[in-house]
Chain A
């Protein structure tokens, strides 16, 4: 569905006074394949290149060298820009910066209208997209009056109205409160599990990464780790080394294992941790 081949990207800056051009390579040869219908979380601290990578997935940026293919289309192909944007939508971090219309309904209709989609189809898409994110009741609400979580759900609906097969979300929950975060995560999970959409979720929250099928850790413009969340979080020392968190229970079980307790090495949720500790206790009482 998404593929990058030795993707390198540099930002170029021109000094207005001297005309001198400086360049700064921020992605250093990223190659990865994201399968259709998968749920991929991307971790990495600020400045590691996550957003720059994400912007390649709907051709906001194109590679300095290497290739990016979205549903088989090379993002360098300017004539296919609409097709790329239609098949892969993006949602950004700040709920206040990405909503343009005053009324929810208009916000959702905006992109398909621009693409010349027929009015009765737009109508259907607006309704179904809002229903998919649980915001249909707010169809006539003013966007300014919505909570952060609601705004993000409207932004997601705006993407769904293009009926894409893939959605890339760049820290969509970073500015939300826990309730808003839960709402948005539920929708993201639903889009992946029930609607089989390909999801790329950039996040700083370990529990969000744990929801994914696959977690990719980016560090200084390179892929550092790539695997299931269980595999990735088992590299505690590597993650510590670059100052990234792991789930608290993963660290706890890791410490207990170092003390010699025979607990499994791949615990990433509280339920799994409780289960493993209970099993160890039960086993002991049976002796």
Chain B
């Protein structure tokens, strides 16, 4: 479980450029959840998640992961990084080893595991990220953008964290590439049912398809936090802050506004299809 208590983050405290990025954030994420973080650019999404693996230290406040106080100066960074894996935005730009295999092995190597254990983890992570055996010997630079991104994610997964965080994992990919990453997130969830998976996204369709919970940040504050059902059922609140909503929510809101009796908790294509079909049938269409 991740527990955040009164987290504040001020960049450049005391400098003229001082900027508070997070304001008094308190929240809990239970084990085994897939949680999406959404919000405008600059709302604090990256800042928040970089606190979860102690890449950033809070200006004030506490963060506990599985009971471990990661904000305590005495807690070893290594212990935190073993628990929490963070995949940066556009991580493919950070591949640097000679082969795909070595790139994936980089993380586990650093945690001083045996050769055979490293090998097992690399192969397991590659399998989960749908990276073919034949690619492992190649240079990362020979791969397509989508493949590189999966290699970068495999590298973090190979450290076998209990919390996996992905900053905008589908950004810049084509629909097939996005679909692939999302389905991989789904299968990681089934493989590791206890693992917390947190991902940042601007695509409401991705969130509707993949997440269970949503944290909405606005100007450094938690604006909404709940299950996907709860947050999207209140999609007019998302619109109020200028955020997007799923395409099906737009349709449902438009129908409701014109007097159709339809609940706003419908946001997936299947739910919309079933409900609208019923409405049309009941009205003799």
Contact = CB atoms under 8 A, between A and B. Distances in A.
Shortest Cβ-Cβ A-B pairs, 4 listed? A274-B254, A248-B247, A177-B41, A270-B250
A230 interface: no
9 contacts: A46-B145, A148-B41, A174-B172, A180-B41, A252-B251, A252-B273, A252-B276, A256-B280, A285-B283
A45 B176 contact: yes
Interface in B109-135: none
A255 B273 contact: yes
A147 B41 CA distance: 9
Contacts of B145: 46
Interface in B237-285: 242-244, 247-248, 250-251, 254-255, 258, 260, 269, 272-273, 276-277, 279-280, 283-285
A259 B255 CA distance: 20
Contacts of B243: 178
Interface residues of B, number: 36
B55 interface: no
Contact of B251 (A180, A249, A262, A280): A249
Interface of A is mostly: helix
B285 A261 contact: yes
B280 A280 contact: yes
Given A278-B258, A284-B285, 12 more contacts: A45-B174, A46-B144, A177-B202, A178-B202, A178-B243, A245-B175, A248-B269, A262-B285, A270-B251, A271-B254, A278-B260, A281-B279
B51 interface: no
B184 to A, nearest CB: 16
Contacts of B248: 248, 252
B172 A259 contact: no
Given A46-B177, A247-B247, A274 B171 contact: no
Contact of A178 (B42, B176, B244, B272): B244
A12 interface: no
B205 interface: yes
A174 to B, nearest CB: 5
B3 interface: no
B64 to A, nearest CB: 31
A218 to B, nearest CB: 12
Nearest to A251: B269
B232 to A, nearest CB: 14
Contacts of A177: 40-41, 202
B146 interface: yes
A284 B254 contact: no
Contacts of A259: 277
Given A252-B273, A259-B277, A274 B255 contact: yes
A287 interface: yes
B242 A179 contact: yes
